[in-house]
Amino acid sequence: MQGRHDGRRVLVTGAGSGIGRGIVLRMLAEGARVVAGDIDEQGLKDTAAAADHADRLLTVPVDIADQTSARTACATAADHLGGLDVLVNAAGIMRAAHTHEMSLEVWNQVIGVNLTGTFLMCRAALPTLLRADHPVIVNFSSTAAFGSNPYMAAYSASKGGINAFTHSLALEYVKQGLRAVNIVPGGISTGITSNLALPADADWGLMARLTGWIDGGMLGDPADVAGVVAMVASEDGRYITGSEIRVDGGALM
């Protein structure tokens, strides 16, 4: 396991907490040099404090929904690392509401961060990635794009869009050596899930498929996802592109 990413140059968004932080720590443990980006600057400080290999870590503030901020983060990463081998788009938000009560502002915010933000980061990073050997983009979908998640229409739509976007990337750049893969988490114990506010009259009976069957239906851990990302972004994943990998404890079985 150790050393799969020795010397690899990695940019991770959403790195201030949850899955993104778990990915940063795992990639550092496997030898990578990492630039960690997030809109939450205190979260980035906490990630750096948790890192055992902080000498190979740079943190940068980034608002992925803003194209100038996305471009600046990618340019900073490329300059600091001397190029870029892996982009991991782990940043995202989740908002819940009855669809008939969801404001256009909330809809646009979720689409703007999750889907447009993923596009903006990919667009900014691609010219640098395509100069690398065996470059990889890891995007984050969700079981919400495949199963039925009530009260999360905007989130589900954004993640479905990421699925299609990633498939398009994978085919468009396959002859240039780029791989693009979707990671599809189920219920993972993060700030997003623990702080999600459902409508007061939400029917919890409709939420049964949000967790899997492993460990009696407990939420997964960010480390469960980080290990899969480390694999798919390494040469162990060399024959995986344009596809999804579910990490959901069997929720969609």
Query: What whole-number distance in Å separates Cα of residue 111 and Cα of residue 146?
Result: 17
Query: What whole-number distance in Å separates Cα of residue 18 and Cα of residue 14?
Result: 8
Q: Are 167 and 139 in contact (CB under 8 A)?
A: no
Q: Are 151 and 198 in contact (CB under 8 A)?
A: yes
Q: Are 181 and 232 in contact (CB under 8 A)?
A: yes
DSSP string, 12-36: EESTTSHHHHHHHHHHHHTT-EEEE
155 is catalytic: yes
Q: Which residue has the tokens 């997964």?
A: 220
DSSP designation for 149: -
Q: Are 34 and 56 in contact (CB under 8 A)?
A: yes
Q: Are 30 and 223 in contact (CB under 8 A)?
A: no
Q: Which amino acid is at 175?
A: K
Known catalytic residues?
Answer: 155
